[in-house]
Amino acid sequence: MTSLNIFPQSPADIRPVLTDPPWARTLLTGMALAFLGLFLFLPLVAVFGEALAKGLGAYVSAIVEPDALAAVRLTLLAAAIAVPLNLVFGVAAAWAIAKFRFPGRGLLISLIELPFSVSPVISGLIYVLMFGAQGWLAPVTQSLGLQILFAVPGIVLATLFVTFPFVARELIPLMEEQGTDEEQAAMMLGASGWRILFWITLPNVRWGLLYGVLLCNARAMGEFGAVSVVSGHIRGLTNTMPLHVEILYNEYNFAAAFAVASLLAGLALVTLAAKSALEWRMGCHGASTH
Amino acid sequence: MSEKPPLAWKLQIRSPGVLPGFGPALGFTLLYLGLIVLIPLAGVFMKTAGMAWDDFLGKAFSPRALAAYRLSFGGALIAATINALAGVLVAWVLVRYRFPGKKVVEAAVDLPFALPTAVAGIALTAIYAPNGWIGSLLAPLGLKVAFTPLGVVVAMVFVGLPFVVRTVEPVLRDFETEVEEAAHSLGAGRGQIFWRVILPGILPAMLTGYALAFARALGEYGSVIFIAGNMPGVSEIAPLLIIIQLEQYDYAGATAIASVMLVAAFLLLILINSLQAWRRSRHEA
């Protein structure tokens, strides 16, 4: 076939049977793009448009304002704790589940994905029930003098919960696909477990690992519902960026709210671009449905 | 004593694999899973179990809670249906047609996964408010979107948008074009081929995406509360009602509603898992 490459490559072009008439192509493409334009493109434009509505000066001052900067710092801090912890968990879980066979594997995978099906509000509520005024762990934390709720530890816990599955769910199928041949060969040659992990397994799954970390980080920085329940909304202290957006918005300070929101939208765009680049690298498409 | 060697040999066969580190890796996984996810989640049901049955029913199914469930479940149902239809359309266009900017559109479909929900919420509100870009066009027609239940559906469509596209797309891409050619050679028209050949093929993927979009919309909070208006009994979703109860220190009330939503989420999870098993069995057949 390749020696006679006079046809265009698309199967639809080679087989005229599969081609829709031009009017149908135009109509369907138009409808799809109109739907996506309405629901994806327009909101994105609105964020940047509203952010700059009062001029560049107002935009910059909304971002360098102390409470906004404190929110940025807290968001970065929560992500800097939650993402590495879930990364270590993801690697450990994938090692146990993908490289070994044991009863209950399927159940364990379902349990790891559980946080995706829980409403963000409930993800916050569970920590209120543990550490709140009537919580069953409240006596312990009080006697230790620990403040969990309405403080940074609560925000980190809620972030950990909602971003829990991201790295594991990328690594498990990938490591399973790669089998254990290379690891067994390394073991025969006398490599230790850690050496096998760091020199063979992790380099083999590095793009998938990065992909999981990327999605984990985007969710960690953008989480709203779960963090909202546990944060207490103390300005400059327990406000993450999404919570700061909410406070500004509820104060009718729209330009400032959208200015901070535009930073998060920028993060989303960078995430999407990096995600596309990684998908191209890994040679797979749309692997993730969360 | 002579039985010992074969027994040890048997045990070795049953050990889960030859690589080192199974014990510590599984141990850490279970410990971390238990501490961060399972024990905290179990707290909801422990708290519910501690309530008297009548008390639980009164709190979980009060008129205000029932109205909130109606809006959350009804809105999620409508939004997931819109997403199923539009998702198949978008997947079809992305797989079958070529047009300028296709790569950007392909990447943009995942925007609702990447954009923080609060940002999506205020952006949709700005667009659909009576003085917004689309709201001002709809206002003369007497149609209000923002601050009504319709706004809830709009936000739910946004958050659920990628699911059906992402589940249907790979199936459509792997679709055996020979089947379509066979249908054509037997005299089927394009419409007939779509309804009788293609749609049955993508149906399991479409239903999986539908269920995923429904589950996501059901629990959604951030993007909905800005556009909803949040009137008790009218435009108040169940997750918001949980937060309101918490702010009034009614932990029991919040937990009762949360346990109803959790049971719904678990049932959906089981449904989605069986849909995926069905898909795999169809794929292998």
The residue to which tokens 């050496």 are assigned? A195
Same domain flag for B27 and B112: no
pLDDT of amino acid B191: 83
The least confident of A17-21, B4-8, B166-170 is B4-8
Q: What is the pLDDT of residue A60?
A: 95
Chain B interface, mutation test: which of A121, A128, A201, most B Cβ atoms within 10 Å? A121
Question: Residue A252 — left, alpha, or beta (φ > 0 → left; ψ -120 to 50 → alpha)?
Answer: left
Question: Does B69 lie in the same domain as B165?
Answer: yes
Name the DSSP class of B98.
Answer: -
pLDDT at B284: 67
Collapse the DSSP code of A231 into the 3-class scheme (helix H, G, I; strand E, B; otherwise coil) and give the result. helix
Q: Tell the residue number behind the tokens 């270590």, with chain if given.
A: A88
Sorting pLDDT into bands at 50, 70 and 90, what band is B28? Answer: very high
pLDDT digits (tens, 9 = 90+) for B56-82: 999 999 999 999 999 999 999 999 999
Burial class (CB in 10 A: 0-12, 13-18, 19+), B131: exposed
Which residues of chain A does B117 touch, with a Cβ-Cβ cutoff of 8 Å?
120, 222, 224-225, 242
Cβ contacts of B220 on chain A, cutoff 8 Å: 119-120
pLDDT at B14: 53
pLDDT attached to residue B266 = 94
pLDDT > 90? residue B2: no
Residues B194 and B135 in one domain: yes
> pLDDT tens, A5-28?
444 445 544 455 567 888 889 999
Both B43 and B135 in one domain: the answer is: no
Residues B172 and B275 grouped into a single domain: yes
CA pair distance B28, B273, nearest whole angstrom:
26
Six token digits for residue B240: 């918001």
**pLDDT < 50: residue spans in chain A:** 1-9, 12-14, 285-290
Q: Are both B170 and B45 inside the same structural domain? A: no
pLDDT of residue B8: 44
| Number of neighbouring beta carbons within 10 Å of residue A106 | 10
Please give the ipTM for the structure prediction: 0.88
State the pLDDT confidence band at B15, using cuts at 50, 70 and 90: low
pLDDT of A157 reads 96
CA distance B12 to B8: 6
B260, part of any domain: yes
> What is the average pLDDT value for chain B, to the nearest integer?
90
Do B201 and B144 lie in a common domain?
yes
CA–CA gap between residue B133 and residue A259 (Å, rounded): 19
| Per-residue pLDDT, B134 | 94
Q: What pLDDT does residue A16 have?
A: 52
Residues of chain B with C-beta less than 8 angstroms from the C-beta of A41? 108
CA distances from A200 to A89, A113, B18, B47 (A): 18, 26, 16, 46
Q: Is residue B3 part of a domain?
A: no
In this prediction, residue B7 carries a pLDDT of: 47
Window 219-278 of B, Cβ < 8 Å to A: 219-222, 226, 239-240, 242-243, 246, 249, 251, 254-255, 258, 261-262, 265-266, 268-269, 273
Residue spans of alpha helices (H) in A118-253: 120-131, 138-144, 152-162, 166-178, 181-188, 193-196, 202-204, 206-222, 225-231, 241-250
Number of structural domains (chain B) is 2
Q: Please give the single-letter amino acid code of residue B111.
A: L
Q: Which residues of B touch A21 (CB under 8 A)?
A: 190
For residues B274 and B157, membership in a common domain is answered with yes
Contact check, Cβ <8 Å, B111/A272: yes
Q: Does B10 score more than 70 pLDDT?
A: no
Of B36, B173, B152, B29, nearest to B91 (Cα)? B173
Q: Is B98 on the interface with A (CB under 8 A)?
A: yes
Are B19 and A187 a contacting pair at CB < 8 A? yes
Q: A246, A227 in Cβ contact below 8 A?
A: no
* Domain assignment of residue B114, given as a range: 52-284
Same domain, B36 and B173: no
Q: Structure tokens of B9?
A: 């040999």
